[in-house]
């Protein structure tokens, strides 16, 4: 799509530079308009379209003849500026109808304008650009062609097919939105507000936060409390290790006494299985104990509770026994 041309906004009924009405024009005005029209028609036939367009507009500026305006529309179509032609055909139909009401010789112009306009309609759609969040200096473009600000929020003609809307403003990144324009009337929302919204601030870095007294942890508990909880879990794990380790050692000694040279006179499989269970539970208790006490120590240190002695923890593991010493 060529997009909405810069001149399209000017080619609306209120801004046409119409000359004298055909029923009020003087002979001199009619003669001037006729000369300009014939010269423009010659240029049109010779495919000098830009020159022809200028001539037909000048003729219409002298006398507001529907024939001149009709030729302006035809020239715009020949130039593939169908968005402008759409608007001019609408105006040419109105002007021709007013002239024909006073002089029937303009009735063919009415019929021609209506027919050619209907032929053009399937190629052009009416689109309302609903612009949200524009700044005072925002400029809007359709396929690189500017759209006058007073046309925002109004129906403007666009060629059916693909289109690209761009918005530019000082200090802002260029906004671009691709559209697919179909026949009839539609509204396209151009949301600059969301696109140009300020980026959210980065999250605060709390990795070095040591203000434990004012900080809140999971379930509303501070680091000092969690340190005690972790330490308690760790202590329970160590106690579990000691108890079940001792039970495993007891089973082992019993089996060793009753089964010389690893040969049991009676079935002791239940005792063997029990010993294995005790060993597994003891091992798990040891892991939980070490992790719990280590975590509790770290949390305690991070809590930075001034005025208290820094915690120290010592764990001793021996055959069938565990000792824990420390200050909290």
SS3 state at 139 = strand
State the Cα angle at 120 between 116 and 122, rounded to 5°: 140
Q: In sequence order, what are the residues at sequence separation of 6 or more whose Cβ sits closer than 8 angstroms to the Cβ of residue 319?
A: 249
Q: Judge whether 165 and 181 are in contact, CB under 8 Å.
A: no
Residue-wise over 4-15: b if at least 16 C-beta within 10 A, else e?
bbeebbebbeee
**CA-closest candidate to residue 41, choices 7, 74, 64, 90:** 74
In this prediction, residue 63 carries a pLDDT of: 95
pLDDT at 325: 54
Residue-level pLDDT at 227? 72
- Quick one: 196 exposed, middle or buried, by C-beta within 10 A (0-12, 13-18, 19+)? middle
Rounded CA gap, 294 and 282, in Å? 18
Contact yes or no for 18/61 (Cβ under 8 A) = yes
Q: In the numeric block, which tokens belong to residue 151?
A: 């046309």
Return the number of other C-beta atoms located less than 10 Å from residue 77's C-beta. 18
Task: Return the pLDDT at 12.
Answer: 39
pLDDT tens series, the chain, 328 aa: 333 333 333 333 334 578 899 999 999 999 999 999 999 999 999 999 999 999 999 999 999 999 999 999 999 999 999 999 999 999 999 999 999 999 999 999 999 999 999 999 999 999 999 999 999 999 999 988 899 999 999 999 999 999 999 999 999 999 999 999 988 889 999 999 999 998 777 777 666 655 444 444 456 567 777 677 877 877 887 888 788 778 777 767 776 776 766 666 566 677 777 777 878 887 887 787 788 777 778 767 776 654 454 555 555 555 555 454 555 4
Its pTM surpasses 0.75: no
- The predicted pLDDT at position 318 comes to 53
What b/e readout covers 249-279, taking b as 16+ CB neighbours within 10 angstroms?
Answer: bebbeeeeeeeeeeeeeeebeebeeebeebb
The answer to whether the CB of 230 falls within 8 A of the CB of 295 is yes
Q: Is the Cβ–Cβ distance between 61 and 19 less than 8 Å? A: yes
How far, in Å, CA of 228 to CA of 305, rounded? 13
Q: What is the residue extent of each domain of the chain? A: 1-193, 218-327
The bridge status of strand 124-132 relative to strand 155-159 is antiparallel
109 to each of 28, 67, 93, 96, 203, how far by Cα in Å? Answer: 23, 6, 8, 6, 69
The Cα angle at residue 40 between residues 38 and 45, in degrees rounded to 5: 95
Assign domain 1-193 to its CATH superfamily. Tetratricopeptide repeat domain (1.25.40.10)
| Rounded-to-integer distance, Cα 34 and Cα 60, Å | 10
- Start-end of H helices in 167-268: 192-195, 223-258
How does strand 185-191 pair with strand 124-132? Answer: parallel
Q: Which helix (H) or strand (E) holds 272?
A: helix 269-303
């Amino acid at each position: 799509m060529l997009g909405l041309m810069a001149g399209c906004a000017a080619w609306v009924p209120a801004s046409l530079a119409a000359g004298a009405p055909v029923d009020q024009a003087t002979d001199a005005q009619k003669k001037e308009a006729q000369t300009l029209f014939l010269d423009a028609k010659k240029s049109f036939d010779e495919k000098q379209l830009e020159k022809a367009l200028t001539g037909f507009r000048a003729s219409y500026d002298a006398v507001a003849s529907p024939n001149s305006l009709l030729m302006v529309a035809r020239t715009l179509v020949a130039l593939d500026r169908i968005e402008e032609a759409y608007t001019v055909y609408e105006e040419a139909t109105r002007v021709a109808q007013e002239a024909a009401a006073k002089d029937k010789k303009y009735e063919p112009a009415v019929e021609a304008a209506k027919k050619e306009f209907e032929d053009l309609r399937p190629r052009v759609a009416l689109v309302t650009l609903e612009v949200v969040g524009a700044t005072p200096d925002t400029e809007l473009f359709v396929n690189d062609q500017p759209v006058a600000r007073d046309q925002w929020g109004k129906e403007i003609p666009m060629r059916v097919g693909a289109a690209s809307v761009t918005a530019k403003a000082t200090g802002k990144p260029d906004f671009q939105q691709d559209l697919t324009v179909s026949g009839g009337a539609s509204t396209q929302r151009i949301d600059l507000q969301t696109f140009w919204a300020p980026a959210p601030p980065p999250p605060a870095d709390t990795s070095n936060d040591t203000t434990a007294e004012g900080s809140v942890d999971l379930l509303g508990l501070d680091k000092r409390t969690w340190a005690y909880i972790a330490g308690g879990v760790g202590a329970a794990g160590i106690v579990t290790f000691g108890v079940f380790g001792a039970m495993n050692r007891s089973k082992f000694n019993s089996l060793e006494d009753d089964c010389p040279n690893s040969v049991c006179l009676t079935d002791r499989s239940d005792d063997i299985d029990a010993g294995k269970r005790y060993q597994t539970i003891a091992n798990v208790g040891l892991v939980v104990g070490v992790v719990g006490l280590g975590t509790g120590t770290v949390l305690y240190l991070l809590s930075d509770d001034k005025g208290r002695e820094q915690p120290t923890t010592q764990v001793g593991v021996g055959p069938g026994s565990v000792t824990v010493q420390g200050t909290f």
